[in-house]
Homo-oligomer: A and B are copies of this chain.
C-alpha cells in the first residue's frame, strides 16, 4: 500500500521541537509524492514519568508496535531518575521489546557543515556504524547487581543476534556498494584480543562473511578503531559492533561531521523500526527555538527509505532521496544552525529545506 501509519513519540526537551519541524517538512513532501503518511503523536518520556509515574504507557507502546514505523524525537531529562539512579529511557525499551538489533548510524560529511578534522579528506567521510542494540552490555540494563562493596553488570553476545547483525551489515554494504559504485567493506569492531565473548562474536561474524563473497570483510579492535576514526575515518564503510562500543563510537563519529545535530539514526529489527536523531533532549537549549532538526529530518528520510524497502512503494524511496538532497542543498547553500556557530534556528531550517523541496 502507499499509505502508512507513523507512530510519533516526540518525547522531551528539543525532542518535541525537532519533531514538529520534521512533521512540517514531511507533510507537503508526502503530498507531492502522492504517498499517504498518517501520524499519531503518543505520550512517553521523562516528563510523562514525572507527571504520571509511567515513562512509557502501555497504550503508547501498543500503538507504536502496531504502526508501520516509529518516529522518535528524544527522551530523558537529567533531573528525572528512577529509583536505582538510572535515567528514564523508553527508547531503550523499544529497542529491547521490539527486537531492534541493528542501530544504524550513518556518518557523512555534509557539504557546508564544518568537519572537525584538519585533513582535507574529512570532507569525504561516509561510513555507517551498525550498533547492535538489544544485547551486549545493555543486556544488563536494569539487572545490575549492587551491594555495599561492589556492583556488576553482564555483557551478553548471542550467536543468533550476531548472525542477524552481521547479515544486516553485509546487506547494507551491498546496497551502498551498488549506490556508490565501489566494493563494499564490512569491519567488525570488537575486543577479541582480550575477551572470549568477542572472540566468539568474531567467529560468528566470520561464518556469516562467507555468505557474502562479494563484500570485503575484516575486524578491528575497538580501541584501534577509536584511533582510526580520528586518523582516517574516510577509510571505512560499514562498521557493526557491540551495543556499548557502538554507543561510544557513534558519538565520536558524530563529532567528526558537525555533531549530534547532523546525526540521524535508525533502530531496525525484522518487523519494526524506530527512527530518531542520535542527539538527546538538550536541556541547555530546550525551549529556545534553536534546536537543529537536520538529524531528525535525515532520520525521517531513513524511515521513508526503509518503508520503501518494506514494499510501501517507490514514492517513498523518491521522497527519501529528495529529502536528503534538500537538507544537503540547504546547508551547501549557506544555512548555518547555531550548533555550528550560525544564527539559524529551527524554523529557519524548516523554511530552507522546504524551499529546496520547491514549496
Contact = CB atoms under 8 A, between A and B. Distances in A.
A183 interface: no
Interface of A: 76, 84-87, 89, 92, 114-119, 137-138, 140-142, 144-146, 148-160, 191-197, 199-203, 222-224, 226-231, 244-245, 247-252, 254-256, 259-260
Nearest to A138: B194
Contacts of A84: 196, 199
Chain B CB within 10 Å, residue with most, of A144, A160, A223, A259: A223
Contacts of A247: 191, 222-223
A195 B117 CA distance: 32
Given A156-B152, A245-B248, A86 B194 contact: yes
A226 B197 contact: no
B252 A230 contact: yes
Given A86-B196, A150-B159, 6 more contacts: A87-B193, A116-B118, A142-B196, A151-B201, A223-B248, A230-B255
Copies in the complex: 2
Contacts of A146: 196-197, 200
A155 B137 CA distance: 9
A251 B230 CA distance: 9
B251 A195 contact: no
Contacts of A153: 154-155, 195-197
Contact of A252 (B92, B150, B156, B229): B229
**Among A119, A140, A227, residue most surrounded by chain B Cβ atoms (within 10 Å):** A227
Contacts of A149: 158-160
Contact of A194 (B141, B192, B194): B141
Given A223-B248, A223-B250, A195 B140 contact: yes
Nearest to A280: B224
Contacts of A256: 230
A195 B156 contact: no
A224 B85 CA distance: 18
Given A150-B156, A231-B116, A248-B222, A193 B86 contact: yes
A312 B250 CA distance: 45
Contacts of A244: 191, 244
22 contacts: A84-B199, A85-B196, A85-B203, A86-B192, A86-B196, A86-B199, A89-B194, A92-B194, A144-B195, A144-B197, A148-B159, A150-B159, A152-B156, A152-B197, A155-B155, A191-B247, A223-B247, A224-B251, A226-B226, A228-B255, A245-B248, A248-B249
